[in-house]
Amino acid sequence: MTLKTSAPGNVFFFGEHSVVYERPAILAAVNKRTYSEIKKVNGNHISVKSEGYGEIDSNLSSLKEKKYKSYEDYTSQMDPIRDLIGILLEKFNLASGFELEIASEIPHSSGGMSSSTAVLASVLKAISELFQWEVPEEDYFELLYPLQVKIHGGSASGSEITSSSMGGYNEFVLDKSGEETEFNFENLGKQSYNLVIGDSRIEAKTGETVPYVKNGWENHSESYEKAFDEIEQIVKKGKEALIKGKAKEVGQLMDQNQELLRTLGVSHPKLEKMIKEARQSGAYGAKLSGGGKGGIMISLVPEGKENQVAKSIEEAGGKAFTTEVGVAGAKLEG
């Protein structure tokens, strides 16, 4: 029997990067998904094919033995998937091999929509469903956060796990003050915001942008902390406005967040151009989303203005698309 699962990518309305420094962020799952098809095989063989990422052709014992201690051990795009399977083998004592095929709608070449988190969440869902293990969504943090840290070059917030596992619109805050890292999230309910997303087609790895900001923070901690505090204020106001359906205000706050992301050095001239065009053609507001330095931008648009804004983003050299926002998290398909 073959099972199919999926998990969504996401966008940040507010708070990427500062969320790594324990400030709040607001993010939403979007209907660009990663799909995993899985079936058991006789024996202990494990094969994984991931469109655009690569392949794994291995077995239970070698995957269990292989350990990835730090981000430096991730040398191929398949390593996080190998790492996850190894962790699951250890935790659940898996006894049978499987064949897994992964396909994604998320533009992972340029980044910004958490494609790797979506891959891991859909794989985790697929394997746990196949072997009928109870893995509640809250446990996705415990299992995926260490991988997230390695993917992002040594530090991460874990915020994207909220979208990929639970879906919807969420506020997220990381709390590392206690003995155990805590992942606090609040579902912000059903919302109906129209986004036009622009893919800059400039490859940017979050594994490089997160360490870039960390380096800046280590060298200029005062100004970075100040910027993070300002973003926190924007997130607080943004949450109020978003819940109340005040799209215009949400857009203005997105613009303010973009200013601060630019001062952190994670924007890019092409993103700036796409953002400017989107605003001029009628968007309420626009900003980069995710790690930045390339990847995607999002624009919040009044209903009926989607095509106009999409056209302006394309004229600025981006690839524009619309998608449903606030969709379901990791799930069984069919």
Q: Which residues bind ligand MEV (CB under 6 A)?
A: 16-17, 19-20, 114, 152, 156-157, 159-160, 206, 210, 290-291
Nearer to ligand MEV, 100 or 239 (CB): 239
Query: Whose Cβ is closer to ligand MEV: residue 20's or residue 310's?
Result: 20
SS3 content of the chain, % helix, strand, coil (to 5): 40, 25, 30
- Smallest distance from ligand MEV to CB 315, Å: 27
* Contact (CB, 8 A) for 192 and 168: no
Q: How far is the CB of 285 from ligand MEV (least distance, A)?
A: 19
CA-CA-CA-CA dihedral for 276, 282, 285, 289, to nearest 10: -70
Pick the closer one to ligand MEV by CB: 6 or 114.
114
Show the CA angle centred on residue 142, arms to residues 154 and 27, nearest 5°: 75
Q: Within the chain, where are the H helices?
A: 60-65, 79-92, 115-130, 139-151, 159-166, 206-219, 221-243, 247-263, 269-280, 306-315
Q: How far is the CB of 158 from ligand MEV (least distance, A)?
A: 7
- Identify the bridge partners of residue 99 per DSSP, sorted by sequence position: 39, 47
How far apart are the C-alpha atoms of 129 and 116, rounded to whole Å?
20
Task: State the Cα–Cα distance between residues 35 and 6, nearest whole angstrom.
Answer: 4
Task: Name the minimum Å distance from CB 209 to ligand MEV.
Answer: 6
Closest CB to ligand MEV among residues 80, 89 = 80
Q: How far is the CB of 47 from ligand MEV (least distance, A)?
A: 29
Angle (CA) 284 265 287, round 5°: 15
Looking at the Cβ atoms of 86 and 153, the one nearer to ligand MEV is 153
Nearer to ligand MEV, 266 or 313 (CB): 266
* Least distance CB 206 / ligand MEV (angstroms): 5
